[in-house]
Structure 1
Amino acid sequence: MQHLRVAWALAGAAVCFFLIVFIQAHFFREGQLVAGTCEIVTLDRDSTQPRRTIARQTARCACRKGQIAGTTRASPACVDAQIVRNRQWCEMMPCLDDEGCDLLVNRTGWTCAQPSGRVKTTTVS
Structure 2
Amino acid sequence: MQHLRVAWALAGAALGFFLLFWIQAHFFGEGQLVAGTCEIVTLDRDSSQPRRTIARQTARCACRKGQIAGTTRASPACVDVHIVKTRQWCEMMPCLDDEGCDLLVNRTGWTCAQPGGRVKTTTVS
- Specify the TM-score bucket, using the shorter chain as the normaliser: 0.7 to 0.9
Residues 6/87 of structure 1: CA separation in 2 closer, same or farther (3 Å cut): same
Aligned residues between the structures? 125
Question: What residue in structure 2 maps to residue 120 of structure 1?
Answer: 120
Structure 2 residue matching 1:48: 3-state secondary structure:
coil
Residues 42-87 of structure 1: CA distance to partner in whole angstroms, max 9, x if unpaired?
0000000011000000000000000000000000000001000100
Give me the whole-angstrom Cα distance separating, in 2, the residues matched to 1:73 and 1:22: 35
Residues 12/114 of structure 1: CA separation in 2 closer, same or farther (3 Å cut): closer
Give me the whole-angstrom Cα distance separating, in 1, the residues matched to 2:98 and 2:39: 24
Residues 75-118 of structure 1: CA distance to partner in whole angstroms, max 9, x if unpaired?
00000010001000000000000000000000000000000000
Runs of 4+ residues deviating >4 angstroms: 1-28
Name the % identity: 90
Q: CA deviation at 1:20?
A: 7.7
Residues 13-48 of structure 1: CA distance to partner in whole angstroms, max 9, x if unpaired?
999979986995699621200000000000000000
Question: What residue in structure 2 maps to residue 74 of structure 1?
Answer: 74
Structure 2 residue matching 1:30: 3-state secondary structure:
coil
Residues 6/88 of structure 1: CA separation in 2 closer, same or farther (3 Å cut): same
In terms of mean alpha carbon deviation, does 3-12 or 13-22 score higher?
3-12
Give the TM-score of the pair, scaled to structure 2. Answer: 0.80
